[in-house]
Amino acid sequence: MDSIHLSPRLKTVADFVPLNARLADIGSDHAYLPVHLLLNDKISHAIVGEVAKGPLDNAHHELKKRHLLEKADVRLASGLSAIYDEDNVDTVTIAGMGGILISNILNAGKQQEKNFETLILQPNTDEINVRRWLTTQHYQIIDEAIVQEENHFYEIIVAVIGKQQLSDLDLIFGPYLRVAKTPTFVAKWQKESERIALIFHQLAAAGKSDTDIYKYWQLRYDQIQAVIS
Ligand code: SAM
């Protein structure tokens, strides 16, 4: 992967960025995503935020290599504090981190009264935390996608300012993903079913078939079957 040939995961994130967005990519690392968008004239300027010096240097190197340094501000900062009011950012991408970290970053930003029209989020794990944060903080999910790269499944969640009520099933499986039920979505949850089946075996072998933990996994297993069937 490089900034010209994005991975399917990052390409999906890129495709959701609105044309001419005023973008900030937080936790950008190599800056492949903003560089790709700049090279394709989808955006004219980007804020590139990174909390760590090494990744920040990667971002700087990539922008220099593609002669794009004048089209981006590379900032060493935690989360949304990389974005200043005068940047007039309307779209924020946060990709390739755990869902809890993404929610914490958004939460810290909210406390600094940083609000952005469109959020494009790609949690590697704990997607439920991200969806819960969005709906409790006055965002509305307007689209979702799921992609597979080798053994990993990645969900991409697009939200705008608005109101939305989500059911427990929506929070776990995604309001759009569970309706679209693509083969990739089904494959993700089949894999999770197989993992739970192993847990059943282990619990049964330990004589724990009649326990609360077994019932918890049973409920989760049944829920998955009902959604993917
Ligand atoms: N966004 C890129 C992608 O999806 O390919 C890079 C993901 S990389 C795995 C995660 C990056 O997030 C790391 O470079 C890390 O330094 C950065 N990061 C972690 N916590 C952060 C925070 N609070 N603020 C800004 N960047 C952060």
* Closest ligand 1 atom to Cα of 25: 1
Q: How many domains does the chain have?
A: 2
What CATH number is given to the structural domain containing 107? Answer: 3.40.50.150
| pLDDT at 172 (0 to 100) | 98
117 and 65 belong to one structural domain: yes
Q: Is residue 3 part of a domain?
A: no
126 and 23 belong to one structural domain: yes
- Per residue in 203-224, pLDDT (tens digit) is 999 999 999 999 999 999 999 9
Could you tell me the pLDDT band of residue 9, with boundaries at 50, 70 and 90? very high
Could you tell me the pLDDT band of residue 93, with boundaries at 50, 70 and 90? very high
Q: Which domain holds residue 218?
A: 186-228
126 and 193 belong to one structural domain: no
Q: Is residue 88 part of a domain?
A: yes
Q: Which of 153, 44, 53 is nearest to 91 (CA)?
A: 44
Could you tell me the pLDDT band of residue 146, with boundaries at 50, 70 and 90? very high
- Per residue in 11-24, pLDDT (tens digit) is 999 999 999 999 99
Q: Is residue 2 part of a domain?
A: no
Its pTM surpasses 0.85 = yes
User: Which residues, including other chains, have CB under 8 Å from residue 158's CB and lie 6 or more apart?
Assistant: 16, 118, 119, 120, 121, 141, 142, 143, 144
Q: Distance, CA 91 to ligand 1 centroid (Å)?
A: 17
Strand 152-161 relative to strand 118-123: parallel, antiparallel, unpaired?
antiparallel
Q: Using a 6 Å CB cutoff, which residues line ligand 1?
A: 10, 26-29, 49-52, 55, 78-79, 95-97, 101, 105
| pLDDT at 174 (0 to 100) | 98
Which of 140, 158, 177 delimits the end of a domain?
177
For atom 7 of ligand 1, the residue with the nearest CA is: 96
43 and 110 belong to one structural domain: yes
155 and 197 belong to one structural domain: no
162 and 61 belong to one structural domain: yes
CA distances from 36 to 41, 46, 90, 170, 207 (A): 9, 11, 18, 32, 54
Q: Distance, CA 129 to ligand 1 centroid (Å)?
A: 18
For atom 16 of ligand 1, the residue with the nearest CA is: 52
* Closest ligand 1 atom to Cα of 79: 24
Which of 177, 198, 216 delimits the end of a domain?
177
CA distances from 51 to 26, 78, 97, 203, 224 (A): 9, 5, 13, 42, 37
- Per residue in 43-77, pLDDT (tens digit) is 999 999 999 999 999 999 999 999 999 999 999 99
Q: Is residue 162 part of a domain?
A: yes
* Closest ligand 1 atom to Cα of 49: 25
104 and 215 belong to one structural domain: no
Q: Distance, CA 168 to ligand 1 centroid (Å)?
A: 29
